[in-house]
């Protein structure tokens, strides 16, 4: 897991991540190569701004999935890396065949999705929730409109 915010790195470790890297204080590509010897098999850009970094850290023949939807994101990367590494890059947004399986996983309780909600706040404090997320001090914030 690559995560610049310490709160979120700690959460990743507590959720079972084997390796968590701070990309601000460490060279992400160097760290991934040290751990894997060849690069990551699969890279998931859940932010929508990390495609170039993903291309750098994925192994030859690896896959990159971009699921983050940042409307103003623009990626610049050396196209030759994508070609010589023979990468498969895919973007997805609420794919038709993935929503129900995701619901099924949540309903099965095989994962504790409730752990992702790190803060609960009433609607009149929604700005606090937004700040928690912006500052990397929350994973998910649940806003309860009934607690006003």
Q: Are 43 and 58 a contacting pair, CB within 8 Å?
A: yes
pTM above 0.85?
A: no
Residue 140 and residue 15: Cα distance in Å, rounded? 14
What is the per-residue DSSP string for 3-51?
Answer: -S-HHHHHHHHHTT-S--B-TTTS-HHHHHHHHHSS-EEEEEESSSS-H
Encode pLDDT of 5-16 as tens digits.
999 999 999 999
For the stretch 111-131, pLDDT in tens is 888 889 999 999 999 999 999
pLDDT over threshold 80, residue 70: no
């Amino acid at each position: 897991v690559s995560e610049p915010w310490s709160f979120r790195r700690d959460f990743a470790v507590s959720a079972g991540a084997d390796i968590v890297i701070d990309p601000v204080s460490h060279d992400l590509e160097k760290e991934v190569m040290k751990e894997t010897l060849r690069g990551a098999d699969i890279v998931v850009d859940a932010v929508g701004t990390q495609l170039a970094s993903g291309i750098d850290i994925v192994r030859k023949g690896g896959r990159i999935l971009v699921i983050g939807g940042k409307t103003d994101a623009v990626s610049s990367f050396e196209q030759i890396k994508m070609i010589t590494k023979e990468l498969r890059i895919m973007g997805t947004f609420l794919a038709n065949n993935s929503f129900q399986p995701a619901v099924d996983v949540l309903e099965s309780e095989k994962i504790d999705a409730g752990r992702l909600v790190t803060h609960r706040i009433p609607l009149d404090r929604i700005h606090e929730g937004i700040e928690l997320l912006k500052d990397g001090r929350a994973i998910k914030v649940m806003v309860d409109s009934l607690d006003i």
